[in-house]
Amino acid sequence: MENLKDQRVLITGASSGIGRAMALSLAEKGSELFLLARRSDKLTELQSEIKTKYPEVKNHLIVGDINDSEIGEKIRTCTQEKIDILINNAGLAIGKERVEEAQFSDWEQMINTNITANFKLSHLVVPWMLKAKKGDIINLCSIAGHYTYQGGSVYCATKHAVNAFTRILREETCGQNLRVMQISPGMVDTEFSTVRFKGDKQLADAVYAHMTPLMAEDIARMMIFMLEQPRHVVIDELITMPTDQGSPTTVRRSK
């Protein structure tokens, strides 16, 4: 099994949800963490928790928006161009309006975050991994990268793009000791729906009402499983949904 101790890991969107859960899971394994997110207060809270639980673990904060033009230089400076693992986690959905009713600014934000920033991170770190002759990348995709649903036109399109990009990157780096993987979750109870509905907690809570969704810790546990496989093993993709979900539009609720 692959030993994650002292491996240098960059996690985007690390301040909450799946990114935060993954940071704590990797800290337990003894990895050195580079935690990137916009909210400095949330990152500082996470750093304090890691220091309390795992005082021997090195962790570094990179505060900034993944879409900022200078974020690449911040990452380059902080990591000194040495990254063993990239967790390309940052992403979001905004709104569930039909195409003719949606706000184009929402589309731009989803495209910039889910596609452009995601691709830029791989473009930045893959040369470092190739030089080191070793590296792992996990892209956070979604079942929306495999299925479509009404009200999710651009979000689904962005995740289909991540799916295609991940597969091509895997082909291009084949045989060079880089493992390019992705995980595609269904319903996970994080801030995702709160962001999608622009802070409307009632609408967000209704998404998970009367059913049992996945939790961020479930996704982190699966990603640890992917990373700990022997180096000759690549978990191409994990598609995971709660048992109460059969597709993006098929959800069994108790009431």
Cβ neighbours around 15 below 10 Å, total: 24
Answer yes or no: are the C-beta atoms of 54 and 27 closer than 8 Å.
Answer: yes
Q: Which of 80, 85, 89 shows the shortest CA–CA distance to 30?
A: 85
189: which 2 tokens? 């109870």
120 is catalytic: no
Whose structure tokens read 């916009």? Answer: 38
Q: The tokens of 103 are what?
A: 């706000």
149 is catalytic: no
How do 178-185 and 59-63 pair as beta strands? unpaired
Residue written as token pair 């729906």: 193
Among 74, 133, 159, 201, the active-site one is 159
Which residue in 149, 155, 208, 255 is the catalytic one?
Answer: 155
Question: Taking a C-beta distance cutoff of 8 angstroms, is the pair 214, 184 a contact?
Answer: no
Say how far apart CA 248 and CA 74 lie, in whole Å.
37
Q: Looking at the annotation, which residues are catalytic?
A: 155, 159
